[in-house]
Amino acid sequence: MPAARVLIDGPSELVFDYAIPEGMMAKPGCRVTVPLRNKPATGTILDITEEIPSKFTLRPIDSLIDPNPLITEKLLELGKWMAQYYGSPMEVIMRSLLPESVRQESNSQKTQKFVQLVAKPDEEAFNKLSKRAPRQHLILTLLEASGGKLSLKDLGGGSASASIKALVKIKAVEVIEEAVRRDPDDGEEFIEDSPLKLNEGQAIAMEQVIEQINTPQKPMLMHGVTGSGKTEVYLQAAQHCINAGKSVLILLPEISLTPQTVQRFKSRFASTQDQVAVLHSHLSQGEKFDEWHRIREGKARIVIGARSAVFAPLTNLGIIIVDEEHENSYKQDSNPRYHGRDLAVLRAHLEKCAILLGSATPSLESFHNTQKGKYQLLKLDQRADGQSLPIIRVIDMRIEGKKHKSAPSILSDPLRGHMEKKLADGEQVILFLNRRGFARSMQCPECGHVCECRHCAMPLTYHRAEERLICHMCGHQAITPRRCPECGDDAIRFQGYGTEQVESIIQKVFPQARIARIDTDTMRRKNALRDTLRAFHQRKIDIIIGTQMIAKGLHFPNVTLVGVLNADLGLHVPDFRAGERTFQLLTQVAGRAGRGELEGEVIIQTFTPHSPSIQFARHHDFNGYAHQELDFRKQFGYPPYTNFALIGTRSTHERRAEFTLENLHKRLKAELPAGITIGEPLPAALTKAHGQFRFQLMLLGISPRALSGHIQKILKQTPPPEDVTVIFDMDAISF
């Protein structure tokens, strides 16, 4: 009798083996009910083995919930590849393939009661009702006016129950129960728009995309400057697939990009907008459940979502589109540590469909693949509206500080002057600062003490709205001290600034301006981001101050000035990708300016104006930056010329975490295959987080499979102590 390995639903998510009863057509991916202790439980079959070891007597599966697997064959194949490459157990992979909202037994389709008109009484009886039972008369009138059916809630709910029962008794109406969809965009209206005329560059790119949709050959990388009309190419490519009876998957790096993208797609496909489904973490569990099942049943053929949407159960895929493919947020920072873009490329290969990666600042890995001929390069060099790219000015804040004979202010004189002019002309402004909170730390000028988190090796950030010091790593909060905790001096002061302080200052400098702040502190309420962006688009807001949530993908035609308040924040961190990320971020945020009829300007404030990242961004020169950075990477043997893996250890006991990594280092080095380079075990850049001390070890290899295989082999042979966690991150992008 064959056996099935079943992942049990619930917070503990246990995995047990069960016997498959004779005649039951169980397959991997099927949902089942099984006995667990003395109660029935639900679960998902992970795998099936033909033989049960004779020493075990397994309890049989009770029943199949659905004879058809919830996971397609191609997705299961993708999951098995993930388990092998990223070194994650299959049960962990399955939790990604089948979201919690689908696995949870408590989730089910939402139903609603409706009152339906069966037969209207004759005119005489109907007229008598108006005097004898006016409530019944009103209900029948409303039903007739609305096409014969209304929800019980719309008719007054419980207060109308007696009248409805009386109408049911005379067989004038009937009460029915129907499934209703929990729509994330319920109440939204989408006005249908028509495809735009493509310019020459877009038309050439579109021809190449259609050719790949019809006959997939290799992944495509569309390098288009900001405002070049990449989204219009996406829309027309999707339309081509829908017309051909195929489905479309669009991946976005940030939830902040979802409202505008959903609006564009639902407007373009307004006549059939139910075909568009959305998957991201801001949906409720019920909304996720409904959207996922709409996709699985083929009702939704266009799926838009964040990285986890790469597992959407679409069939007959025509194209996968990965927008802003360079973004780090495509990389999962918990197990399984997959990269959404890389899995999208692999899924396209398995599904034999086209894949289009798009960005104004492609990752060096993808750009290098076009140079090697692995990817096809599509170029959009001009903005779709014919406007020139915005003029970028770099302000040296060292000189600015000397002007005022003090520490430089948050707003330089040139930026303040340009803001006054733009606001006076009725134009809009975006101020970008990739740091939230009011002040980045509190420091005593007498003894030098900095208020740090007790659980993490990082300073606490002051948030004035909460009047608290908050750790942005673990969330720990502390009361703001009035005196230095070390020396007792009352001169302790705030250092640095964040978006909250910028908002306070801008309100004082421009008291007449309408200001909004977009960061994770202000966008916690559901749909808060969508509502704020809509108000900005409708020109109800003059100035937006925000973090990287506003840095990419957003289109506001009336924005003519973008100010980058501190371009150095991510430039001087110990990471070989720091320069690339700064260049990408500056180029992307600069692209928010001048996207309409008016020309745009960008002002970048920095203390390191001669950095290549800033200078190449100033001239919108991606090719220049990419070639000099690739030369640097090649000299040092960094990705994309090699593959990168990170092994980390974490423990509340510092010495145990360090010793575990040292032991792993010795074993890895002793059996090191050719083509792999290993570094030394060192404290992580953030030496302590969430109360755990952290150490890390870096490895580089020419063959990714050989590198991953060697590490997994040693990890299996070297189990860590119970109080030490070992992290294996293949193709790591963060230290």
Report pLDDT digits (tens) over 498-526: 999 999 999 999 999 999 999 988 888 87
User: Stretch 240-261: mean pLDDT, rounded?
Assistant: 85
Residue 257 has pLDDT above 70, yes or no: no
**Which strand (E) or helix (H) includes residue 564?**
strand 559-564
Closest CA to 94 of 322, 249, 271, 311: 311
- Of all residues in the chain, the percent with pLDDT exceeding 70 is 95
CA distances from 586 to 84, 91, 405, 612, 622 (A): 37, 40, 28, 12, 12
CA distance 324 to 361: 8
Strand bridging mode 543-546 / 515-518: parallel
Cα–Cα distance, 153 to 151 (Å, whole number)? 5
* CA dist list (Å): 60 to 18, 103, 330: 5, 20, 40
Backbone angles phi, psi at 514, to 5 degrees: -90, 120
Cα dihedral 176, 177, 179, 184, rounded to 10, equals 100
Q: Which residue has the higher pLDDT, 286 or 544?
A: 544
Helix, strand, or coil (residue 711): helix
- pLDDT value, residue 267: 87
CB contact set of 48 (below 8 Å; sequence gap of 6+): 2, 3, 4, 5, 20, 26, 27, 28
Segment 574-580 mean pLDDT = 91
pLDDT confidence of 683, banded at 50, 70, 90?
very high
Phi, psi of 48 (to 5 degrees): -130, 130
Work out the angle between the directed axes of helices 230-243 and 200-214 (0-180°, nearest 10): 40
Which is more confidently placed, 262 or 380? 380
Per-residue pLDDT tens for 150-161?
A: 887 777 766 677
Does residue 685 have a pLDDT over 60?
A: yes
Please provide residue 243's backbone torsions phi and psi, each rounded to the nearest 5 degrees.
Answer: -65, -30
Each residue's pLDDT tens digit, 523-557: 888 778 888 988 998 999 999 999 988 887 678 88
The predicted structure's pLDDT at residue 723: 93
- Helix ranges, 105-229 (H): 123-132, 134-145, 161-169, 200-214
Strand partners, 114: 151, 176
The tens digit of pLDDT for each residue in 27-47 reads: 888 889 999 988 898 888 888
Please write the tens of the pLDDT for every residue from 96-137.
Answer: 898 887 777 555 667 778 888 888 777 777 777 777 888 888
On whether the CB atoms of residues 480 and 468 are closer than 8 A, the answer is yes
Quickly count: other Cβ atoms within 10 Å of residue 671's Cβ.
10
The rounded distance, in Å, linking the Cα atoms of 572 and 556 is 31
Q: What is the pLDDT of residue 155?
A: 78
Higher pLDDT, 104 or 485: 485
- d(CA 260, CA 535) in angstroms, rounded, equals 13
CA distance 319 to 250: 9
| Model confidence at 200: pLDDT above 70 | yes
Residue partners of 444: CB distance under 8 A and separation at least 6: 450, 484, 486, 487, 489, 491, 492, 493
Dihedral of CA 229/422/562/263: which sign? Answer: negative
What mean pLDDT value characterizes the chain?
89
Question: Does the pLDDT value for residue 367 go beyond 70?
Answer: yes
Tell me the C-alpha to C-alpha distance, in Å, between residue 502 and each of 2, 53, 499, 542. Answer: 65, 66, 5, 15
pLDDT of amino acid 54: 60
Q: Which of 5, 174, 177, 152 is nearest to 93 (CA)?
A: 5
Q: H or E stretch including 57?
A: none
- Degrees (nearest 5) of the Cα angle 423, 426, 428? 65
Cα torsion angle, 538, 539, 540, 546, sign: positive
468-470 vs 477-479, strand pairing mode? antiparallel
**pLDDT for 56:** 72
Helix (H, G, I), strand (E, B) or coil at 34: strand
- Tell me which residue of 73, 74, 68 sits closest to 353, measured CA to CA: 74
DSSP letter for each residue of 77-92: HHHHHHHHHH---HHH
Mean pLDDT comparison of 74-83, 120-129, 273-282, highest-scoring range = 74-83
Q: What would the DSSP string read from start to end of 647-674?
A: EEEEESSHHHHHHHHHHHHHHHHHTPPT
Where does the pLDDT of residue 192 fall: very low under 50, low under 70, confident under 90, or very high at 90 and above?
confident
Burial of 56 (0-12, 13-18, 19+ CB in 10 A): exposed
What's the CA gap between 18 and 45, in Å, rounded? 10
Which positions ≥6 away from 543 have C-beta within 8 Å? Answer: 419, 423, 428, 429, 430, 431, 506, 510, 513, 514, 515, 516
Q: Which of 341, 277, 284, 287 is nearest to 314 (CA)?
A: 277
Count Cβ atoms below 10 Å from residue 215 Cβ, excluding itself: 9
pLDDT tier, 586 (very low <50, low <70, confident <90, very high otherwise): very high
**pLDDT of res. 73:** 85
644 and 731 in contact (C-beta within 8 Å)? yes
Average pLDDT over residues 399-413: 75
Please list, in sequence order, all residues whose beta carbon lies within 8 angstroms of the beta carbon of residue 489, skipping any fewer than 6 positions away.
Answer: 444, 445, 446, 447, 483
pLDDT score recorded for residue 497: 92
Cα first-last separation, the chain: 48
pLDDT score at 678:
96
Would you give the distance in Å from CA 72 to the centre of its chain?
23
Residue 192's CB is within 10 A of a number of other CB atoms, namely 11
Of 207-221, 398-412, 420-434, which range is least confident? 398-412
Handedness of CA 336, 341, 342, 346 (dihedral sign): positive
3-state secondary structure of 636: helix
Q: From start to end of 308-353, where are the E strands? A: 317-323
Q: Is the pLDDT of residue 390 over 60?
A: yes
When pLDDT is averaged across residues 367-376 and rounded to a whole number, the result is 96
Are 74 and 100 in contact by the 8 Å Cβ rule? The answer is no
DSSP code for 720: P
The pLDDT value given to residue 551: 80
In three-state form (DSSP H/G/I as H, E/B as E, the rest C), the secondary structure along 360-380 is CCCCHHHHHHHHHCCCEEEEE
Sheet architecture: strand order including 559-564 = 391-396, 601-606, 559-564, 428-432, 543-546, 515-518
153 or 436, which is more confident: 436
Q: Which helix (H) or strand (E) holds 160?
A: none
Instruction: Please tell me the pTM assigned to this model.
Output: 0.86
Three-state DSSP class for residue 8: strand
Cα 545 off chain centre by: 21
pLDDT value of position 404: 67
Mean pLDDT for the stretch of residues 144-167: 78
CA–CA–CA angle 263, 264, 265 (5° rounding): 95
Say how far apart CA 735 and CA 697 lie, in whole Å: 10
